[in-house]
Amino acid sequence: MCHGWSMPKRTRNTEKLDPVQNARRVVLESIASTETVNLTIVQQVMREMGARGGRIGGKRRLETMTDAQRKRSASKAAKARWSKAKNTQ
């Protein structure tokens, strides 16, 4: 026997925001995207020093460390990583 009717179309069950809620959401998103952070002079100087030190630090450390020091540092780092894995289980 053939059915003469088709399946009803589904509608999404998303909650629709009323106009006030939607306006508030738009305003909050626009404020978040345009908000700027004003750093003090000290903060700007410290940020630049930190960035410069981070770029130089790894290369200089690699050049100045001996093979024994590098091995000791690597084994210490490996132990620290593995001890964290054991503690989480």
**Global pTM value:** 0.35
Please give the Cα distance from 9 to 6 (Å, whole number).
Answer: 9
**Domains contained in the chain, number:** 1
10 within a domain of the structure (yes/no) = no
**Domain for residue 9, yes or no?**
no
**What is the pLDDT at residue 75?**
94
In a domain, 15, yes or no: no
Residue 45 in any domain: the answer is yes
Q: Look up the domain containing 43 and give its range.
A: 20-88
Q: Is residue 11 part of a domain?
A: no
Confidence band, pLDDT 50/70/90 cuts, at residue 34: low
pLDDT category at 62 given cuts 50, 70, 90 is confident
What DSSP designation does 63 have? H
Distance (Å, whole) CA 11 – CA 13: 6
Q: Kindly indicate the confidence band of residue 57, based on its pLDDT and cuts at 50, 70 and 90.
A: confident
Assess whether pLDDT exceeds 70 at residue 1: no
Task: Tell me how far apart the alpha carbons of residues 66 and 59 are, in angstroms, rounded to a whole number.
Answer: 13
Domain assignment present for 14: no
Higher pLDDT, 84 or 22: 22
5 domain-assigned: no
Q: Which two tokens stand for residue 34?
A: 């345009």
How many angstroms separate the CA atoms of 27 and 30, rounded?
Answer: 5
Q: 54 in a domain, yes or no?
A: yes
